[in-house]
Amino acid sequence: EVQLLESGGGLVQPGGSLRLSCAASGFTFRSYAMTWVRQAPGEGLDWVSTINIGGAYTYYTDSVKGRFTISRDNSKNTLYLQMNSLRAEDTAIYYCAKGGLYSSSPIDYWGQGTLVTVSS
């Protein structure tokens, strides 16, 4: 059974940093692209970032470029999202999601999410 377990969310002040983790199990982690998606309160799904299977190729939505960094450790079956210079508008539930072989492959599994609140 595919499982994606996010952690690392919490309350942080504007300008602060957080590192989200996603522990994956139930599939061969190193063989699949991975994605972070966020959802602000009462809003729709908003793509944040995607990483390819080896970690060499990364993609970001414009609003987080230069502030967020996606990475993966295939030896630990873990996906990360380093978030710096956080803003109030980054407040959201952050979901880890599994894709397919390619970065362009659709998402086919979702984690339960971790809440990030940016507020003073």
Among 30, 113, 115, 117, binds another protein (CB under 8 A): 113
Q: Does 27 bind another protein (CB under 8 A)?
A: no
From 67, 31, 61, 68, select the one nearest 46 (Cα to Cα).
61
CA distance 64 to 83: 9
Site residues (CB under 8 A) for another protein, limited to 36-75: 37, 44-47, 50, 59, 61
Among positive and negative, which fits the CA dihedral 114, 59, 106, 89? positive
Q: Which stretch binds another protein (CB under 8 A): 15-23, 68-76, 80-88, 109-117?
A: 109-117
How many residues lie near another protein (CB under 8 A)? 21
43, 51, 89, 91, 119 from 79: Cα distances, Å = 24, 9, 23, 20, 25
Selected range binding another protein among 22-30, 68-76, 77-85, 105-113, rule: CB under 8 A: 105-113
Binding residues (CB under 8 A) for another protein: these are 35, 37, 44-47, 50, 59, 61, 95, 103-113
